[in-house]
Amino acid sequence: MRRFFIATILCAATASTEHRASAQDSILGADALATDSGRFRLKVEMKVNARNSSPVEFPVANTGAPFPVVMQTVSAHTSAEISNIALTAEGDLTSDILARVVVHALDLYNRNPTSSADRVDLREAFVRLGKKWESLKEMPGTTAYLELGKAPRFSKQIARKLESYGLWGTAVGRFEETGAEAGGSFGPHLYWRASATGGTPLFFRDVNALAGDNGTPERTVGSTAPVVYGSGFPILYDTMATDTGLSGRFQLGGGAGLRFNWGENRRDGIDLLGWYFRRDLADRVSLHGTFYSGDIRLLQGFLVALPVNGREKREYGVNLEARFGPVHLFAQGVKQSIAGLEREGYEAELSARIPLPGLFASGDQSVVNWIEPAVRVSYIDNLFDAPAGFVAPSVGWDWRKYDFGFRLGIVRGLDLTVEYSRNEATSKKGVLNPDEGLLTLRAAF
């Protein structure tokens, strides 16, 4: 409630000024409401979804847990839901100082556990001093910036073409981190990044839309409450940051990149970024809505633990992003060590936006103006085995995920995404296919 109250005041203060439709596209994908000066902007986005998941079960024996463990599809049926309402308030305090707040309500597809985690979350809250030139944006020369607060990790793919996430988009840096980030450029082609944050706790979740329920209240001994969602088939990942931080165990990160632009308006280009992050895992991190703890305590399971060695968590990788006319590519290779548990793999997403003539008109706007087919391939190779009896053996499975679909631009600020995820999870009993179809109608202004 405290987060929601603060965010409501900030948004109301922004909305109380005179607004008009801005000519600029919103960061959320549609027009923003802005003051006449354009210095302050309020953006709203709502997502409505339909989902269908394949029913799959995997019994787990001898875990030591005080209840039977069966990994199963989170929600094995067809459903329709409002998954998220996002409010963004941002303002240019000066030409070189930006303040930004993003609040999500519901956020069903990010909550973990799905049924008992917070319904309102402060996703971003930061002040940026100086200009930050995001991936593929032409840099004017030597620049520098400093960002303080809660913001996405600089190695994250910001603009996904599908609503789903790939395996590495889920596993590493999915959520915002609180701390400081600095960066800049040396001329138009070379740039750098550095960060010091509290990191985000290590936990696990399913790779499809819903995280699933693990350690929720109805799973405690003696509870008579009905189970809301299944556990899913979780992988290790960086979950949402906690309010209390990680007992002073800071995460340090750095990166360096090369960028070249060409074509009309210098929009086309290629961007190559190498990055590295490191922190020490805490003994345990309390997480809202689950009796499981994050970090080292999670890896210890109940009576059966993963083969951990030390507490160092590090990951390094390379991002490649390119645009050639309507074609866009994002690819990422990652190698990670989690307390001695090694894994590696890649993720690549290819898309192309194709203009359409508009099927009909609504008022002064044409309807159905573009289509953007996209395909994503991702792979995690776990170089360790989860021992028999570990509560979630899927964290040690090798995994391939194929996401494909298209986004249809209906009118400005309204689009429809249709996609399907094919999962191939290699367990000791064979290959499992917890596949999922997802339809997303997104409205933004």
CB 22 within 8 A of CB 35: no
| Burial of 333 (C-beta count, 10 Å sphere; 0-12/13-18/19+) | middle
Q: What is the mean pLDDT of residues 217-225?
A: 84
| Domain CATH for 357 | 2.40.160.10
Tokens of 15: 């909305």
**Phi-psi category of residue 7: left, alpha or beta, with phi > 0 → left and psi -120 to 50 → alpha:** alpha
- Is the pLDDT at 393 greater than 50, yes or no? yes
What are 47's strand-pairing partners? 84, 442
- How big is the CA angle at 10 (ends 9 and 11), to the nearest 5 degrees? 95
Residue 323's identity, in one-letter code, is R
- Is the pLDDT at 363 greater than 90, yes or no? no
> Which is more confident, 405 or 37?
405
- pLDDT value, residue 69: 85
* Closest of 118, 294, 114 to residue 203, by C-alpha: 294
- pLDDT value, residue 219: 85
For 111, other C-beta atoms within 10 Å of its C-beta total 24
Tens digit of each residue's pLDDT (9 = 90 or more) over 267-320: 999 999 999 999 999 999 999 999 999 999 999 998 899 999 999 999 999 999
Tens digit of each residue's pLDDT (9 = 90 or more) over 139-194: 999 999 999 999 999 999 999 999 999 999 999 999 999 999 999 999 999 999 99
Residue 32: pLDDT band with limits 50, 70, 90:
low
- pLDDT value, residue 316: 97
The torsion angles phi and psi of 384, rounded to 5 degrees, stand at: -145, 160
Residue 26: pLDDT band with limits 50, 70, 90:
very low
- pLDDT value, residue 223: 83
Tens digit of each residue's pLDDT (9 = 90 or more) over 200-212: 999 999 999 999 9
- β pairing state of 143-151 and 177-186: antiparallel
- pLDDT value, residue 37: 65
| Burial of 308 (C-beta count, 10 Å sphere; 0-12/13-18/19+) | middle
- Is the pLDDT at 15 greater than 50, yes or no? no
> How far apart are the C-alpha atoms of 398 and 383, rounded to whole Å?
9
- Is the pLDDT at 264 greater than 70, yes or no? yes
For 12, other C-beta atoms within 10 Å of its C-beta total 11
Look up the domain containing 290 and give its range.
2-444
The torsion angles phi and psi of 400, rounded to 5 degrees, stand at: -120, 140
Tens digit of each residue's pLDDT (9 = 90 or more) over 68-122: 789 999 999 899 999 999 999 999 999 999 999 999 999 999 999 999 999 999 9
Question: pTM of this prediction?
Answer: 0.90
What is the count of structural domains for the chain?
Answer: 1
Mean pLDDT of the chain: 90
What are 49's strand-pairing partners? 81, 440
- Is the pLDDT at 249 greater than 90, yes or no? no
CA distances from 93 to 20, 97, 99, 152 (A): 19, 5, 7, 21
- Is the pLDDT at 12 greater than 70, yes or no? no
Q: What is the mean pLDDT of residues 394-409?
A: 98
Q: What is the mean pLDDT of residues 49-59?
A: 97
